[in-house]
Amino acid sequence: MSIRIALAGNPNSGKTTVFNALTGNSQYVGNWPGVTVEKKEGRLKGQKDVIITDLPGIYSLSPYTLEEVVTRNYLINEQPDAIIIIIDAGNLERNLFLTTQILELGIPAVLALNMMDIVNRRGDKIDTAKLSELFGCPVVELTATKELGVIAAAQKAIEIAGKPFKYAKRFEYSPQLELAAEQATAVINLAPHTIKSSQLDFFIYKFLERDYETEQYKALNQSQKDALESLSADLEKKLGKDIGSIIRNERYAYISQVVGLSYENINPDTFSLSDKIDRIVTNKFLALPIFAAVMFIVYYISVSSIGGFLTDFVNESVFGSESWSIPTLIGKGLESAGAAPWLQSLILDGIVGGLGAVLGFVPQIMVLFLMLSILEDCGYMARIAFILDRLFRRFGLSGKSFIPMLIGTGCGVPGIMASRTIENERDRRITIITTTFIPCSAKLPIIALISGAIFGGAAWVAPLAYFTGIAAIVCSGVILKKLKNFAGKPAPFVMELPTYHLPGARNVLTHTWERSWSFIKKAGTIIFLACAVFWFLSQFGFSSGGFGMVETEESLLAYIGRFIAPIFKPLGWGNWKTTVATVSGLIAKENVAGIFGVIYGSSSDTESLSDVWGLIRSDFTPFSALSFLIFNLLCIPCMAAVGAIAQEMKSLKWTLVAVGYQTGFAYIIALCVYQFGKLFTGGGANIGTVFAVLLFAAFAFMLLRPYRAKEEL
Amino acid sequence: MSLNTALTGEKRIIRQVGGLYETRSFLGNLGFVEGSDVTVITELGGNLIVNVKGSRVALSKEIASHIIIS
């Protein structure tokens, strides 16, 4: 028989670190803070018959958040043999609140006082013998980051596993509550019930709190349920408060007595180092300049200096024309193996070329993720949400929306996934929809192409692209928050902030790797397939001799392009080439520029890049080029990002809303830019102009119409 | 008086926590209960970082207005 030990505790109490130390990180852990919604299992190092389960971090065993429900159901229904309750010893009182609730579940428990190094450094003293006596269970001191005491905690848990345990309170609650608890016990005992005597305390207080979300409650008969309800109501009347507050207050009062007997705080009123940092970093005058400086450094390192250098290396050497580069080597291999020309073309032009375009961005993205992981691990990321909250609130977003957008500048997929930390459903949905408006690294080649081919490399094009993205987010936030369908449950901005600490190498590297790998995997699998399909469509078609390999002009791709092209006519670029390029962006935005190269470059009278650019220029006016750029930046993102949207929205309807909104928004803005540009430069007006004026008016109305926030908190 | 009126660095005592049921529960679980000490560490545009029961919690201005102190 194997022994099952669960790890439970508050968020930021170091549970994951303990789990990694116990299991030797045989399981893949590490996630965004607060999104370990699923439990994770691993086996104890050196003792394969001991299974360790890492439960999501929670503040209480109430049934409100997803994390609470997962943890609570596991503990009540699956009853592990023992629990290790991980406690941030530097934050004893708050952590013991959850502890008392877990102890009432009657499962043998070890209290693991983690982060003892911080307590010792402060000079505070915890009387573990006293704590052990007061709670009736073993207490172990830990410093999980240094793997101290971790194994001892597990050994203690194994010792007590499966033995009977009943938590006994050492202090009484107020007479009114004690009386109500007694009466509730009597009510429950009126009829046969499914509640174990060791768990009675847990259920009594849950029932009194009107927490009825358990099987045990549903098994009671109606008169019992009515009696319990009237006990709660009586107590509320007697004390003049709601029952939830009553029980929380009593529980905290109880814990204060425990802490008073076991904890010695040397300097209760001094500001800690972390507080001193906060007084500078979140200071009224310094917060935004410091934030701007940090962001500048992050982007300078990841995009311009180190990351840029590595990406150039990959693009120009690994996937370039060096004698040892991947395309060269594969080409030689295929030739010597005697592969057919079409197969060589498929593999080299289609798959290797397409994958190369995406994988080239991996170094840049890895450096960006590394920087962001460092910001997150040291505790600054949580402060960014705080600093930007008031600003973002005006646009219908929360401070937490910034992080997905920040990550979205690298790649939209992890950006969209990072929106999980936003509890408010409305804020989260708006964030998911708008995150990809920020130009991701895959859109940079489009910007470079338009700027180079049409505007002679003008310096204003790239900033304009970012500005358009930010303006699109702000306008969308303002518009969407006014829509009824987006009115979700108002979730207030309340967030525990971790203490600042030096980032741990292991943690940072795990995070970086996990995020980069999900980028590589998602991009790799989808783009691999898409490249093959696009290659096929661009090479094959019906010609006079039937179906076979044809010139690009005659290919299936060209036919499809010509069919769709009229849709983009009002935007000023309705020919099959631009259409195909745009549609190919669905698979990966890098394709847009790539397809331009393929289509315009394959014609026989192009020798150099400037010839290709000349051909492209002949198909655009300055305003149709801007319209093309804006449409491609704002419209539906690549399929990998759409997949991420679907995954995070968890609903087909909302995914379609997101994609439809993005595309519609892009279409309207691109239409207005082209039509107004044409009108003001004397290009004349037509039916498209009329639509542009009407849509612009509608847009302006949505943006400016008055709105009274109905936010009850 | 609401928590918004507290000066930075001043230790105050929570008298009442208002707002919707779930807001109250969440704040209560985090340690915002009657009789508890609370200290404002920094203030930024009305949003606060406070110390309650030894932990640091960021609160929006609107939430802070539901916490009554003395």
CA distance A538 to chain B (A): 55
Question: Would you tell me how many other CB atoms lie within 10 Å of the CB of residue A183?
Answer: 18
Closest in B33, B35, B57 to A494, CB measured: B57
CA distance A94 to chain B (A): 6
Nearest CA in chain B to A241: B16
| Residues whose CB falls within 8 Å of the CB of residue A257, separated by 6 or more in sequence, listed in order | A171
- Asked if CATH classification 1.20.1250.20 holds for the domain at A175-264, the reply, yes or no, is no
Does A283 reach chain B within 8 Å, measured CB to CB? yes
Mean pLDDT of all residues in chain A? 84
Q: Where are the domains of chain A?
A: 3-160, 175-264, 287-508, 528-620
The sheet with strand B47-52 has its strands ordered as: A494-497, B55-59, B47-52, B37-44, B11-17, B67-69
Query: Quick one: which of A33, A161, A25, A15 has its CA closest to A85?
Result: A15
Does residue A607 carry a pLDDT above 60?
A: no
Distance of CA A459 to the CA centre of its chain: 33
CA pair distance A672, A475, nearest whole angstrom:
15
CB contact under 8 A, B23 and A284: no
Closest in A60, A248, A492 to B62, CB measured: A492
Give the predicted TM-score (pTM) of the model.
0.77
Question: Would you tell me how many other CB atoms lie within 10 Å of the CB of residue A680?
Answer: 9
CB contact under 8 A, B61 and A387: no
DSSP letters for A360-413: TTHHHHHHHHHHHHHHHHHTHHHHHHHHHHHHHHTTT--GGGHHHHHHHTT-HH
pLDDT in tens, A303-334: 677 777 787 787 777 777 677 888 788 888 88
The phi, psi pair for A3, rounded to 5°, reads: -100, 135
Give me the mean pLDDT over the A630-653 stretch: 88
Tokens at A388, concatenated: 């930007």
Contact A12, A496 (CB under 8 A): yes
Closest in A60, A279, A492 to B29, CB measured: A60
Give the pairing type, strands A82-88 and A109-114: parallel
> How high is the pLDDT of residue A34?
41
| DSSP H/E element including A513 | helix A505-539
> How high is the pLDDT of residue B9?
87
DSSP letter at A176?
H
Does residue A139 carry a pLDDT above 90?
A: yes
| DSSP H/E element including B28 | helix B21-29
| Residues whose CB falls within 8 Å of the CB of residue A306, separated by 6 or more in sequence, listed in order | A367
The answer for A 653-712 residues in CB contact with B (under 8 A) is 711-712
Q: What is the ipTM of this complex?
A: 0.94
- pLDDT category of residue A35 using cuts at 50, 70 and 90: very low
Q: B27: which chain A residues are within 8 Å (Cβ-Cβ)? A: 494
- Asked if A3-160 and A175-264 have one fold, the answer is no
Does residue B47 carry a pLDDT above 80?
A: yes
Which class does domain A3-160 fall in?
alpha beta
> How high is the pLDDT of residue A38?
66
Does residue A32 carry a pLDDT above 50?
A: no
CA pair distance A378, A32, nearest whole angstrom:
13
Does residue A602 carry a pLDDT above 60?
A: no
Query: Quick one: which of A664, A241, A674 has its CA closest to A479?
Result: A664
- What is the residue whose two structure tokens read 């010839």? A611
- pLDDT category of residue B40 using cuts at 50, 70 and 90: very high
Topology of domain B3-69 in CATH is SH3 type barrels. (2.30.30)
DSSP letters for A668-704: HHHHHHHHHHHHHTT----HHHHHHHHHHHHHHHHHH
CB contact under 8 A, B55 and A91: yes
Does residue A508 carry a pLDDT above 80?
A: yes
Does residue A166 carry a pLDDT above 70?
A: yes
Does residue A26 carry a pLDDT above 50?
A: no
Does A169 reach chain B within 8 Å, measured CB to CB? no
CA distance A385 to chain B (A): 9
Closest in A93, A249, A283 to B34, CB measured: A249
